[in-house]
Amino acid sequence: MNVLIVDDEPLARERLSRMVSELEGYTVLEPSATNGEEALALIDSLRPDVVLLDIRMPGLDGLQVAARLCEREAPPAVVFCSAYDEFALDVLQGSPVGYLVKPVRAELLLEALRKAERPNRVQLAALTRPAAETGSGPRSHISARTRKGIELIPLDQVIYFIADHKYVTLRHEGGEVLLDEPLKALEDEFGDRFVRIHRNALVARDRIERLQRTPLGHFQLFLKGLNGDALIVSRRHVAGVRKMMQQL
């Protein structure tokens, strides 16, 4: 069985490579990957049976790599290798994706490799959207990778989403986080709770206080939780916002 190692730490890669090489029936593919972008390229070219995948890496992290694998017909088996993360452990319990805590122990590595299954795209998608409710409904929380690790933000605490280049800023009651999710995908999923006020902005319907026209003819939307700050409503969305507010 061919194994690809993905980790941004050289010592971790070397240790895992040595441990896997000592197991009968398993071959370490070379080169190993040092980040998520390299991992995706090597998965395409080397076609591993199993990927030992670090979660916390610069650039694309392990969960984001898994999200990209959702798009593939036959993704490899995935075993996450990372430092203890209570949230990640909760997410991965009962999933087809294995999880190993660093420093990895040889007997647990062998067990994880033996149990490794090839998750289908639906299972990987569920993993990368860990707070989704059972079924096809929208998530109740948004997951974001921050300096604290992986944070879960309850949807009812979200004030707005604003797109800026390749990232989306999520403003919530406790601050801001960056998401690597398209604004359009968020609108499709949460369209019953958020309204578009600009080509790059979605706001929570239940946070809307008032729509106000400025002396220069622009429209501003005041939201609960912003301490008096307002967001600009583009002219093309003013009518829709007004209509929606009449229904609140």
Return the minimum-mean-pLDDT range out of 81-90, 149-158, 212-221.
Answer: 81-90
| 3-state SS string for the chain | CEEEEECCCHHHHHHHHHHHHCCCCCEECCCCECCHHHHHHHHHHHCCCEEEEECCCCCCCHHHHHHHHCCCCCCCEEEEEECCCHHHHHHHCCCCCEEEECCCCHHHHHHHHHHCCCCCHHHHHHHHCCCECCCCCCECEEEEEECCEEEEEEHHHEEEEEEECCEEEEEECCEEEEECCCHHHHHHHHCCCEEEEECCEEEEHHHEEEEEECCCCCEEEEECCCCCCEEEECHHHHHHHHHHHHCC
Q: Which domains does the chain have, with CATH numbers?
A: 2-128 (3.40.50.2300), 141-246 (2.40.50.1020)
**Residue 13 above 90 pLDDT?**
yes
pLDDT band at 85 (very low <50, low <70, confident <90, very high): low
pLDDT band at 138 (very low <50, low <70, confident <90, very high): low
Specify the pLDDT at position 64.
Answer: 80
